Amino acid sequence: MKKLSTLLLAIVAAGASATDASTLELRRGDRICLVGNTFAERFQLFGYFESGLLAAFPDLELSVRNLAWSADETALRPRPLDFGAVDRHLEAQGADVVLLFYGANESFAGSEGLPAFRNDLGRLLRHVSKQLYNGSEPARIALVSPIPQQALPSGRGLGPEAVERRNTDLRAYAEAAEAVAAENGVPFLDIFDGVAAAFADAPAPLTVNGLHLNEAGYWHASSVLLETLGASPPATVAASAGGGPGLEIRPPVLPPGPDGNPDRLRISVRDLAPGYYALRRGDRTLASASDADWAKGLDIQATPAITALVEAGDGLRRVVLRKSRLFFDRYRAVNGYYIYGGRKEPFGVHSFPPEMVRFDELVGGLDDEARDLARPAETWRLERVDR
- What integer pLDDT is reported at residue 256 of this predicted model? 93
Measured in residues, the chain has a length of 387
Predicted confidence (pLDDT) at residue 248 exceeds the cutoff of 90: yes
Contact predicate 252/10, CB 8 Å: yes
- What integer pLDDT is reported at residue 85 of this predicted model? 93
Q: How would residue 313 be classed by pLDDT, with cut points 50, 70 and 90?
A: very high
**pTM: predicted TM-score of the whole model, two decimal places:** 0.90
> Mean pLDDT for the chain?
91
State how far the Cα of 272 lies from the Cα of 90, in Å rounded to an integer: 45
One-letter identity of residue 238: A
Q: How would residue 335 be classed by pLDDT, with cut points 50, 70 and 90?
A: confident
Predicted confidence (pLDDT) at residue 354 exceeds the cutoff of 70: yes
Which stretch of 58-72, 214-228, 255-269 has the lowest confidence by average pLDDT?
A: 255-269
pLDDT digits (tens, 9 = 90+) for 42-81: 999 999 999 999 999 999 999 999 999 999 999 999 999 8
Pick the closest to residue 35 from 102, 92, 80, 84 (CA basis).
102
Sorted by where each begins, the domain ranges of the chain are 27-236
State how far the Cα of 236 lies from the Cα of 138, in Å rounded to an integer: 34
Mean pLDDT of 264-278: 96
Percent of the chain at pLDDT exceeding 70: 94
Predicted confidence (pLDDT) at residue 12 exceeds the cutoff of 70: no
- What integer pLDDT is reported at residue 353 of this predicted model? 82
What is the CATH code for 27-236? 3.40.50.1110
Pick the closest to residue 174 from 121, 125, 229 (CA basis).
121
Q: How would residue 342 be classed by pLDDT, with cut points 50, 70 and 90?
A: confident
Tell how far CA 69 is from the center of its chain: 17
State how far the Cα of 316 lies from the Cα of 96, in Å rounded to an integer: 23
Mean pLDDT of 18-37: 81
- What integer pLDDT is reported at residue 154 of this predicted model? 74
Predicted confidence (pLDDT) at residue 233 exceeds the cutoff of 70: yes
Pick the closest to residue 254 from 198, 216, 308 (CA basis).
308
Contact predicate 264/237, CB 8 Å: no
**Mode of pairing for the β-strands spanning 265-270 and 298-300:** antiparallel
Percent of the chain at pLDDT exceeding 90: 79
CB-based burial label for 215 (10 Å; 0-12, 13-18, 19+): middle
- What integer pLDDT is reported at residue 3 of this predicted model? 35
- What integer pLDDT is reported at residue 155 of this predicted model? 72
- What integer pLDDT is reported at residue 337 of this predicted model? 79
- What integer pLDDT is reported at residue 181 of this predicted model? 97
Beta strands per DSSP E along the chain: 5-7, 31-36, 63-66, 97-101, 140-144, 188-189, 236-240, 246-249, 265-270, 276-281, 284-290, 298-300, 380-384
pLDDT digits (tens, 9 = 90+) for 127-186: 999 999 999 999 999 999 999 999 998 777 788 899 999 999 999 999 999 999 999 999
What angle do the packed helices 160-183 and 192-201 form, to 10 degrees? 150
One-letter identity of residue 210: G
